[in-house]
Chain A
Amino acid sequence: DAMVIQNPRYQVTQFGKPVTLSCSQTLNHNVMYWYQQKSSQAPKLLFHYYDKDFNNEADTPDNFQSRRPNTSFCFLDIRSPGLGDAAMYLCATSNRVGETQYFGPGTRLLVL
């Protein structure tokens, strides 16, 4: 089945230690998104790639970066995680911006 895969499902890191979360898709969608979701809140868009074009949200901290080496993979890099970055990180894809987004299962990040 076509799907969005996120690894790992749970990630523990130390305060200030860089961490990378990964997302892959078999849907062959053009757009890949990264969201941050904190407990009992709606997902908050961090940025997205339309093909190779990177689109950052205005309020996304510089601490968050992303890479998309090819159509299938997209990475979220947190350069210096703080305690406030502990959250669920969701990857989503869509064929075009403005169309239905399909989400992966998420990676729950814990910062010690």
Chain B
Amino acid sequence: GESVGLHLPTLSVQEGDNSIINCAYSNSASDYFIWYKQESGKGPQFIIDIRSNMDKRQGQRVTVLLNKTVKHLSLQIAATQPGDSAVYFCAENRNTGFQKLVFGTGTRLLVSP
């Protein structure tokens, strides 16, 4: 089915390290991107978003970078904490006549104390 690809299914880091989760997308018409965090047994939680007219956006401990040239999106988490352990999904809004949010396959982030 449709999907936005992720390179790494699992990322293991030590507490305090910076984490980078990557996402590749294929649709040039996508104009809006969102990162979600999903903890076990819970619904996806909005983290941060970015529109296609921006290259970078910062939140609290998180930064999203968008490279439209190579269709690449990344989520950077500073000073990763055990509470950051979760599955992270990128999602793109495909604007091809009918708008639809398409999720990537997800990356599991494991943070060790």
B75 / chain A contacts, CB cutoff of 8 Å: none
Contact A43 B44 (CB under 8 A): yes
Minimum CB–CB distance for A25 against chain B, Å: 13
CB-CB nearest in chain B for A48: B100
Asked if A54 is at the interface (CB within 8 A of a chain B CB), the reply is no
Minimum CB–CB distance for A2 against chain B, Å: 13
Asked if B25 is at the interface (CB within 8 A of a chain A CB), the reply is no
Bound form: Cα–Cα A97–B94 in Å: 11
Contact A97 B44 (CB under 8 A): no
B95 / chain A contacts, CB cutoff of 8 Å: 98
* Chain A facing B: main interface SS: loop
Asked if A59 is at the interface (CB within 8 A of a chain B CB), the reply is yes
Q: Are A105 and B42 CB-contacts (below 8 A) given A42-B104, A98-B32?
A: yes
B43 / chain A contacts, CB cutoff of 8 Å: 4, 6, 90, 92, 103-106
Asked if B45 is at the interface (CB within 8 A of a chain A CB), the reply is yes
Contact B42 A43 (CB under 8 A): no
Contact A45 B46 (CB under 8 A): no
A64 / chain B contacts, CB cutoff of 8 Å: none
